[in-house]
Chain A
């Protein structure tokens, strides 16, 4: 007998992951104005790197966070510094940059995916870590999944505090609201945008590591997560970090409810929400 509480807990477990990947995309799209279609590829990289480190070198998956995070950050930062910064200077308006950068991120998707399939091949990879059952509110959940939620919440909250309280966090928000005015305040816009893109990639890489704890990972897994992240970002309001965090959990719970009715319906339900939202309230639940 599955109770409502179980469905909610399962939703929160899923929602934690959604929140992380959505916060990442929110930084890239909401601040750096790159609708990064290759967001999911960084998730895939995080997952597969964690798998390799664990199966080939015996590195504890939780420790690989300290490797995946910085690695994907660096990759994102460098990509922004080289590709997107150049596009930004060559585009005459923000609208032109947004469409150019989306096209560029499409090619990024194919490049990363192709390199990854040379490295890892098409096989579905999984490993078993901390798969001990834990009894919670009358239902059984894997310790690995609970661990995922814990990490997602800690990282999400830390990230929120970083954006809300620190000098750099304020610069990021200012750059999102008015990049030219932020420059006049002394913010090095190029650097802040690259930082946002890198942090977005690092959040994706971290989420990938957490996903690999619970689900099998493979080279083609990225796009589904990109779509989910995009839905959450719209749900939570473009550019709103708290919105993405809350929206992630909201979508997780919705997904869990729908999965309980029929697992094959969850993606369809997400798309339905997305379309309805765009029609009814395109500024998102936290938007004005």
Chain B
């Protein structure tokens, strides 16, 4: 579904991604794990068009999407939940969700999708009229996920959705992400919470210093010495 070939991305003269290649199949949860500063956010931002790669390509459903602006990427069915959620603080919960349905196709069905999102997150319905800045950290993350679903995506990109949340909430967020796969939505999950990510994903890639250094089914990675030492503290 998504294929990345030899992607290199720079910040000015500093190279952050080095020949990254990976593949995500339909209805899979694929995790990308790595420590702080590895280049995970840079990779997601390059996929969604916030950054332009210096070389390499990104294909989505056979179409080349590298170099497209973010709004064009969403319209194709890739929805990105950025680091920290980035909800619109001075808009109500409902307006935030409506913004998620901004692409023309999604806008036509926004009433219907809103009902589904409210069913998934009854909490958001309760807070419908509140400004997003008054929400707690967990609620904001739920709102960001709900907002991403409003565009009726085929592929969701999550950038550390569990970051800064209490353990109980983390479990809930991961349950929700697992649930997306059952709805037929493909998930690309970026995490520093390596154990949790490897537990729910089907396959995973390990990113170190902007390079993919390992890949494989999660069960295999959980067994590998390197992952156990470097990421699981075993």
Contact = CB atoms under 8 A, between A and B. Distances in A.
The yes or no verdict on A and B being binding partners is: yes
B174 interface: no
Nearest to A183: B70
B86 A186 contact: no
Contact of A184 (B12, B74, B98): B74
A186 B69 contact: no
Given A167-B102, A171-B102, A178-B86, A185 B91 contact: no
A167 B151 CA distance: 14
Given A177-B88, A178-B86, A184 B103 contact: no
A185 B99 contact: yes
Contacts of B95: 170, 173
B88 A178 contact: yes
Contact of B90 (A177, A180, A185, A189): A177
B69 A173 contact: no
A185 B89 contact: no
Nearest to B148: A184
B208 interface: no
Nearest to B48: A184
Contact of A183 (B69, B107, B151): B69
A173 B70 contact: no
A128 interface: no
B88 A181 contact: yes
A170 B79 CA distance: 19
B88 A186 contact: no
B196 interface: no
Give chain A's interface residue range (CB within 8 Å of chain B): 10 to 19
Given A183-B70, A188-B71, A170 B103 contact: no
A71 interface: no
Contacts of B50: 180, 183-184
B156 to A, nearest CB: 12
B147 interface: yes
Specify the main secondary structure of chain A where it touches its partner.
helix
Contact of A186 (B87, B90, B151): B151
Nearest to B85: A181
Nearest to B50: A180
A186 B71 contact: yes
A92 to B, nearest CB: 8
Q: Quick one: which of B48, B74, B90 has the most chain A CB within 10 A?
A: B90
B40 interface: no
B201 to A, nearest CB: 23
A285 interface: no
Contact of B75 (A174, A177, A186): A186
A182 interface: yes
Interface string A72-116: 000000000000000000001000000000000000000000000
Contact of A185 (B12, B49, B69, B102): B102
Q: Quick one: which of A167, A181, A189, A190 has the most chain B CB within 10 A?
A: A181
Contacts of A187: 71, 99, 102
Interface in B64-80: 69-71, 74-75, 79-80
Contacts of A181: 82, 86-88
Contacts of B103: 186
Contacts of B88: 173-174, 177-178, 181-182
A170 B102 CA distance: 9
Nearest to A192: B71
A183 B71 contact: yes
A187 B147 CA distance: 14
B100 A185 contact: yes
B82 A185 contact: no
Interface string A178-208: 1011111111111000000000000000000
Given A170-B95, A183-B50, A177 B82 contact: no
Given A178-B86, A181-B88, A184-B80, A170 B74 contact: no
Q: Which 3 A-B pairs have the closest CB atoms?
A: A183-B70, A186-B103, A186-B102
Interface of B: 12, 48-50, 69-71, 74-75, 79-80, 82, 86-91, 95, 98-100, 102-103, 106-107, 147, 151
Interface of A: 92, 167, 170-171, 173-174, 177-178, 180-190
6 contacts: A170-B99, A177-B88, A184-B82, A185-B99, A185-B100, A186-B151
Given A178-B86, A184-B80, 8 more contacts: A167-B102, A173-B90, A177-B89, A184-B50, A184-B74, A186-B71, A187-B102, A189-B71
